[in-house]
Amino acid sequence: MKNFILNKRLFMLVAAAALFYTSAFAAKPEQKLPKTIKMSKEQLMDKIKGAWAGQVLGCTYGGPTEFQYRGRMIGDDRHIPWGEDIEQVSKMMKRVPTLYDDIYMDLTFVGVFDRLGIDAPLDSLANAFAYEGYALWHANQAARYNILRGIKAPMSGHWTNNPHADDIDYQIEADYAGIMAPGMPNAASKVSDKVGHIMNYGNGWYGGVYVGAMYSLAFVTDDIEFIVREGLKSIPAKSSFYKCMVDVIDIYHANPNDWRKGWQILEDKWGHTDIGCGEGALDPLNIDAMINCAYILFGLLYGEGDFYKTIDISTRCGQDSDCNPASAAGILATAKGYNWIPKDWIEPLKKGEDINFAYLPYSLNTTYKMSFDQALQMIERNGGVVTENDVTIKVQKPKAVHYEVSFPNLQPAERKPIKIQLDKNPFTYEADCAGILFNGFVKGPGKYVAELEMYVDGELAESFTMPVSYRLRRLDVYWNFELKPGNHTFELRWLNPEEGTSIDVVDVVLYKKVK
């Protein structure tokens, strides 16, 4: 009996140890960052060029499948072409310029820092993209609408004003922050605190902070899993974003040779996280930063340092299948360098390096230099040394940014079709909810701006406009995420109907409180 008890205890100890070993941060011995790192300016430039090159190549590869696969993987039967046309990058840059929105959004901020210095004021950064001529979507467009009607940053990205606060927008355009802060993830996070809150909040902001931290750390080491783990220290551990990324690392260790099995495990737990986005709530579309960042990690971890595998896996995870491989490839190519990128990838890229991105006077070759100059300034600003030929970077250990959460204790409960067209009579709707979002759109001559009022329980809740202009549009008809749980009456009034104009209310998303 004594031996049985001892053996049983030994078995339990071994089992407990095995369970502990599979947890994300016990899978490998703790690696430490160096206090400083010295590299030649040539090496620094090589990594900076790799960062931007990786983004463009990832975008180009994944572009044809963007949001075609929602809540499902891209099977191996779907051929994604590469290497069949040496002009593939340059053709895409000319024919589908909006594919590179995550690049030209990055470059908008890079350009402001180039003109005004690395301490450029928040209003200059916010106005630069709000008044630019390019098309925007989701959190970016909602922020543009807010800024143009007087809601300044950072409130332009806050979840009470921006239903898309948790969307992917800042995550796909935060690469620049890590590139301009090599080896200094906290400096990158400080930049992201300023810029990222222009359009995002909560998990939407965390996605950009995390991506920026991984880029920053990729200047110090080429150990991809270490970059993934160490960068995550920039995110508060109690956030759902952090917990999801830990799950990805755990999934990878439990299923190291089967990313598709790992994808399904992740999908079952985290695949329905879109809360505020009216297009994605309770829909297979998921443009939430968290799940899409998980797909970045799938590419980085399962890609095993191979450029093609990293891009292909991140693409085949679906959803935002161009932006996710762009970030994964950019981080990997920062760690390895521009000159490491395989020939069949780099040669098509070189055909496009002198082409300006849409709406902006910046090509890749221009961008390389701007980012290099900003990195030198940031190195000196943060205690490093820049000499004629070398730089010595004072490496920073990542510190968690402050905790914040969008849509606290709120979850979408039901999506109901409405499908009505407003007329001179008010549209009335009754619902039992703790939050609400009406989806719809306005049609008419390009310069027409509809004027509307929403009354909640008989009191005026908001007066707002809906421009027909695609660049100036309001994405959602009306939202309110701060209702007292219970029955409410909503009355929408159209104040200036004109011949040839119409306003369609398509559906409504109702929200409930959760613990």
User: How do residues 327-359 score in pLDDT, each as one tens digit?
Assistant: 999 999 999 999 999 999 999 999 999 999 989
Residue 456 has φ and ψ, to the nearest 5°, of -115, 120
Buried b (16+ CB within 10 A) or exposed e, 445-457: eeebebebbbbbe
- Per-residue model confidence (pLDDT) at position 477: 98
Indicate the domain borders of the chain.
33-394, 410-513
What is the identity of the amino acid at 233? Answer: K
- Per-residue model confidence (pLDDT) at position 22: 41
**Confidence band for 28, pLDDT divided at 50, 70 and 90:** low
Residue 252 has φ and ψ, to the nearest 5°, of -60, -45
The C-alpha angle 432, 438, 439, rounded to 5 degrees, equals: 145
Global pTM value: 0.94
The correct answer on CATH 1.10.10.10 for the domain covering 410-513 is no
Region 436-444 average pLDDT = 98
Mean pLDDT for all residues in the chain: 94
Residue 20 has pLDDT above 70, yes or no: no
Looking at domain 33-394, which CATH architecture does it have? Orthogonal Bundle (1.10)
pLDDT, tens digit, 9 for 90 and up, residues 252-280: 999 999 999 999 999 999 998 889 999 99
pLDDT, tens digit, 9 for 90 and up, residues 168-200: 999 999 999 999 999 999 999 999 999 999 999
**Confidence band for 8, pLDDT divided at 50, 70 and 90:** very low
**Confidence band for 373, pLDDT divided at 50, 70 and 90:** very high
DSSP 3-state of 437? strand
Residue 421 has pLDDT above 60, yes or no: yes
Most confident range, picked from 5-9, 16-20, 392-396? 392-396
**Confidence band for 31, pLDDT divided at 50, 70 and 90:** confident
Q: Are 434 and 484 in contact (CB under 8 A)?
A: yes
Residue 17 has pLDDT above 60, yes or no: no
- Per-residue model confidence (pLDDT) at position 29: 58
Strand order from edge to edge, sheet including 427-433: 427-433, 486-494, 449-456, 459-467
Which residues face 449 on adjacent strands?
467
Helix 307-316 to helix 289-302 angle, to the nearest 10 degrees?
Answer: 150
- Per-residue model confidence (pLDDT) at position 6: 35
Cβ contacts of 115 within 8 Å, gap of 6 or more: none
Residue 30 has pLDDT above 80, yes or no: no
What is the maximum span of the chain, computed from C-alpha positions, in angstroms?
92
- Per-residue model confidence (pLDDT) at position 515: 85
Residue 13 has pLDDT above 50, yes or no: no
pLDDT, tens digit, 9 for 90 and up, residues 464-509: 999 999 999 999 999 999 999 999 999 999 999 999 999 999 999 9
Q: Are 333 and 50 in contact (CB under 8 A)?
A: yes
- Per-residue model confidence (pLDDT) at position 125: 98
Rounded Cα–Cα distance for residues 179 and 217 (Å): 10
